[in-house]
Amino acid sequence: MRKRTSRTRVALAGVAAAVLGLAGCDAGGGGSPAPQGTGSRAAKPAPVWDRTPDSIAAVGDSITRGFDACAVLSDCPEVSWATGSDAGVDSLAVRLLGAAGAARHSWNHAVTGARVADLPDQMARAAAHDPELVTVMVGANDACRASTAAMTPVDDFRADFEKALGTLRAARPKAQVYVSSVPNLKRLWSEGRTNALGKQVWRLGICPSMLADPDDLTSAAALRRDRVQQRVMAYNRVLAEVCAKDRRCRFDGNAVYDYDFGTGQLSRWDWFHPSKDGQARLASIAYRTITAVKAAATDDGGRDRP
């Protein structure tokens, strides 16, 4: 795919920075020793991570589909944090490619209700576009089950995520991958339970492992919520560890999990999925992670707090 002229200038600037010894920690390898007697220094290789990709494919679940952000019980991909066209969201694709570029060179293969086991098939569809960047947000539905016993086991979560990345690598070995952390479901309970209508909607069966009986503050209910919280943190550790083994993968350092969202970032129809404002916050986190000189530092799965 042909790069824009501005892209070329950015690449040349990156090489110049490397020569001056300012390359970030994502740079691969070091410079060769200078030939004796010349006083010259060989330039370091350009960084492996490209901060200005020219095409984007998104995989994941209902959050990336913009579910319940525009109307009740409906996908609204135009407000997706990853590939949406809505000006109020200013999606990752629009920020990186511009509105016209995003319309031509971004694709959304996320599916509402998807779990990590569905990711390999989505990756195969995404790879067919030969994207320079693939965004991943998955895991909430693996924790949001009918009971804590039904949550996806951590080992299975790891195996499916590794399979998904392997599927992409087999088809597109040089594609970059941005991996979002799983959102903090316990904070979602803590914020949403302040809304009487939201609690009524939750009783219809939204994320029962965390949100069932939202006003129940007994030790048994607290233990149930803590189990979900710990599972989400374990999923985030898996995402970070697997991504760290791939030099063209960036995890968000738990930025999505740690984000202190409020009710303004939640859908007014279900108080669970992101609103348009919430989608905009996700887009901002992704853009900041992808365009950073250095990869984000990662803590131990995220802070254990509501």
Q: What pLDDT was estimated at residue 23?
A: 32
What 3 state SS string does 215-284 have?
CCCCHHHHHHHHHHHHHHHHHHHHHHHHHHCCCCEEECCCHHHHCCCCHHHECCCCCCCECHHHHHHHHH
* 12 has pLDDT over 50: no
Rounded distance between C-alpha atoms, residue 273 and residue 294, angstroms: 30
Q: What pLDDT was estimated at residue 30?
A: 34
Q: What pLDDT was estimated at residue 295?
A: 85
Rounded distance between C-alpha atoms, residue 10 and residue 276, angstroms: 31
The count of other CB atoms within 10 Å of the CB of residue 219 is 7
Q: Checking DSSP bridges between strand 133-137 and strand 176-179, what pairing results, if any? A: parallel
Between 166 and 294, name the one with better pLDDT: 166
Beta bridge partners of 178: 135, 250
Q: What pLDDT was estimated at residue 20?
A: 32
Q: What domains can you pick out in the chain, each with its CATH number?
A: 56-291 (3.40.50.1110)
Instruction: Give the count of alpha carbons within 13 A of 263, CB side only.
Output: 15
With the CA atoms of 108, 206, 190 and 92 taken in that order, what torsion angle do they form, in degrees rounded to the nearest 10?
Answer: 0
Q: What pLDDT was estimated at residue 297?
A: 78
Select from 74, 132, 68 the least CA-distant residue to 279: 68
Q: Quick check: 302 and 254 in contact, CB under 8 A?
A: yes
Q: Quick check: 86 and 276 in contact, CB under 8 A?
A: yes
Q: What is the pLDDT of residues 141-171, one digit of tens each?
A: 999 999 999 999 999 999 999 999 999 999 9
Helix (H, G, I), strand (E, B) or coil at 111: coil
Q: Quick check: 239 and 177 in contact, CB under 8 A?
A: no
Q: What is the mean pLDDT of residues 180-206?
A: 92
pLDDT band at 226 (very low <50, low <70, confident <90, very high): very high
Sheet bearing 176-179, strands edge to edge: 106-108, 56-60, 133-137, 176-179, 249-251
Q: What is the mean pLDDT of residues 82-93?
A: 98
Mean pLDDT for the chain?
Answer: 87
Biggest alpha carbon–alpha carbon distance for the chain:
78
Q: What is the pLDDT of residues 240-263, one digit of tens each?
A: 999 999 999 999 999 999 999 999
pLDDT band at 195 (very low <50, low <70, confident <90, very high): confident
Helix (H, G, I), strand (E, B) or coil at 102: helix
* 47 has pLDDT over 70: no
Q: Quick check: 121 and 112 in contact, CB under 8 A?
A: no
* 10 has pLDDT over 80: no
Q: In whole angstroms, how far apart are CA 180 and each of 81, 136, 187, 198?
A: 11, 6, 17, 26
The pTM for the full model equals 0.83
* 11 has pLDDT over 70: no
